[in-house]
Amino acid sequence: MRIDIITCLPRLLDSPFSHSILKRAQDKGLVEVVVHDLRDFSTNKHKAVDDYAFGGGAGMVLMIEPIDLCISKLKAERDYDEVIYMSPDGELLDQGLANQLSIGGNLILLCGHYKGVDERVREHFITKEISIGDYVLSGGELGAAVLADSIIRLIPGVLSDETSALTDTFQDNLVAPPVYTRPAEYKGLKVPDVLLSGHEKKINDWRYERSLERTKQRRPGMLDE
């Protein structure tokens, strides 16, 4: 899988992909993440990628031409499953959507900034719009990093224990059970005995019950699904 991220602020994406699980996934060749600087596609002598909004009003708008040039170049090189625009009014990202995108092929993620992108980009080049939540961010970069993270960790082989994503919250419509690590007792605070029992069935039953209990308390709607 390959994820191409188009942004006018590539430095904002330096860190999320350079550490831990997301870095290892790339090192193992399981995913390729390529960040493209929109300014490299500007034909303007000042390398501008944004301009004032027609009709007036505050806030700059990312121009269609550099976005078109970048997307066209990428699409000429390989096929893409989706060209996604990060947008607060897009489809809400959830685990189901992350699962779906993780089994697909290549993705382009377009990050807006300032007031957003010229509407003609959304109408003609974008196949899907995704929001990471009902709030407004300054730019699509953090959203794209969240989306890419949620997808990449689901690619087989990325997590060292392959079953581990399956026991996370939202898989099987249950939230995850509580977890503990050493020491077994800290300042009188004890780990539940069953987890120290070594009895696999009892441990699994306990975890399932705690998951169910927590789901009822915290995400009751998930049990109806």
Binding stretches for ligand SAH (CB under 6 A): 86-89, 111-113, 115-116, 131-133, 135-137, 139-140, 143
Would you report the helix, strand and coil content of the chain in percent, each value rounded to 5? 40, 20, 40
| Complex with ligand SAH: residue 66 or 143, whichever CB lies closer | 143
Q: Report, in Å, the least distance between residue 209 CB and ligand SAH.
A: 35
| Complex with ligand SAH: residue 93 or 165, whichever CB lies closer | 93
Task: Give the 3-state secondary structure of residue 216.
Answer: helix
| Complex with ligand SAH: residue 116 or 177, whichever CB lies closer | 116
Q: Which residue is nearest to ligand SAH (CB)?
A: 112
What is the distance between the alpha carbons of residues 91 and 105, in angstroms, rounded to a whole number? 19
62: how many CB neighbours lie within 10 A of its CB? Answer: 24
Q: Report, in Å, the least distance between residue 56 CB and ligand SAH.
A: 15
Query: How far lies 126's CA from each of 93, 108, 135, 159, in Å?
Result: 16, 9, 21, 30
| Complex with ligand SAH: residue 151 or 159, whichever CB lies closer | 151
Q: Report, in Å, the least distance between residue 177 CB and ligand SAH.
A: 30
Q: Report, in Å, the least distance between residue 41 CB and ligand SAH.
A: 17
Query: How far lies 105's CA from each of 3, 41, 101, 108, 153, in Å?
Result: 9, 25, 8, 10, 15
| Complex with ligand SAH: residue 87 or 215, whichever CB lies closer | 87
Q: Report, in Å, the least distance between residue 115 CB and ligand SAH.
A: 5
